[in-house]
A and B are shown apart, each in its own frame.
Chain A
Amino acid sequence: MRSLVSDSGSGAAVPCGEWTIASDIREIDRVVLAVTTLCEAAGFPPKVCRLNVPVALTEAIANAIERGNGGDVARSVRVMARIDEAGLCVEVTDEGNGFDLDAARALATEDGWVEREDGRGVFLMYALMDHVETSCDAGHTVRLVLRKS
Chain B
Amino acid sequence: MPFAIERDDDLLTVAVDGQLVVGNRQELKQLVLDEVEQGVRRVLIDFSNGGYIDSSGLGALVSLNKRIREQGGELRLAGLNDDLRTLFELTRLDTLFHLYGTRADALVGF
Write the residues of chain A forming the contact surface with B, with a CB cutoff of 8 angstroms: 25-26, 28-29, 47, 50-51, 54-55, 58-59, 62, 113-121, 123-124, 127-128
Whether the pair B52, A120 counts as a contact (CB closer than 8 A) is: no
Q: Binary interface profile of B, 57-72, with partner A (CB < 8 Å = 1, else 0)?
A: 0111011001000000
A47, A59, A113, A115: the one within 8 Å of B66 (CB) = A115
Majority DSSP secondary structure for residues of B touching A: helix
Majority DSSP secondary structure for residues of A touching B: helix
Which B residues touch A62, using CB under 8 A?
22, 54, 56
Q: Binary interface profile of B, 71-110, with partner A (CB < 8 Å = 1, else 0)?
A: 0000000000011001100111101100000000000000
Whether the pair A54, B55 counts as a contact (CB closer than 8 A) is: no
Write the residues of chain B forming the contact surface with A, with a CB cutoff of 8 angstroms: 19, 21-23, 51-56, 58-60, 62-63, 66, 82-83, 86-87, 90-93, 95-96
Which A residues touch B95, using CB under 8 A?
114
Whether the pair B83, A58 counts as a contact (CB closer than 8 A) is: no
B23, B55, B60: the one within 8 Å of A124 (CB) = B55
A25, A51, A114, A127: the one within 8 Å of B52 (CB) = A51
- A58–B60 alpha-carbon span in the complex (Å): 16
- A120–B56 alpha-carbon span in the complex (Å): 8
Q: How far is the CB of B28 from chain A (nearest CB, A)?
A: 13
Q: How far is the CB of B27 from chain A (nearest CB, A)?
A: 12
Residue of B nearest to A122 (CB): B55
Q: How far is the CB of B2 from chain A (nearest CB, A)?
A: 11
Whether the pair A50, B56 counts as a contact (CB closer than 8 A) is: no
Q: How far is the CB of B21 from chain A (nearest CB, A)?
A: 6
Whether the pair B62, A117 counts as a contact (CB closer than 8 A) is: yes
Whether the pair A120, B22 counts as a contact (CB closer than 8 A) is: no
Whether the pair A117, B52 counts as a contact (CB closer than 8 A) is: no
Which B residues touch A127, using CB under 8 A?
90
Closest 3 pairs between A and B when the two form their complex, measured CB to CB:
A120-B55, A121-B55, A117-B59
Whether the pair B62, A116 counts as a contact (CB closer than 8 A) is: yes
Whether the pair B66, A120 counts as a contact (CB closer than 8 A) is: no
Whether the pair B59, A118 counts as a contact (CB closer than 8 A) is: yes
Q: How far is the CB of B79 from chain A (nearest CB, A)?
A: 15
Whether the pair A50, B59 counts as a contact (CB closer than 8 A) is: no
Which A residues touch B19, using CB under 8 A?
29, 54
B23, B56, B59, B82: the one within 8 Å of A29 (CB) = B23
Which A residues touch B56, using CB under 8 A?
62, 121
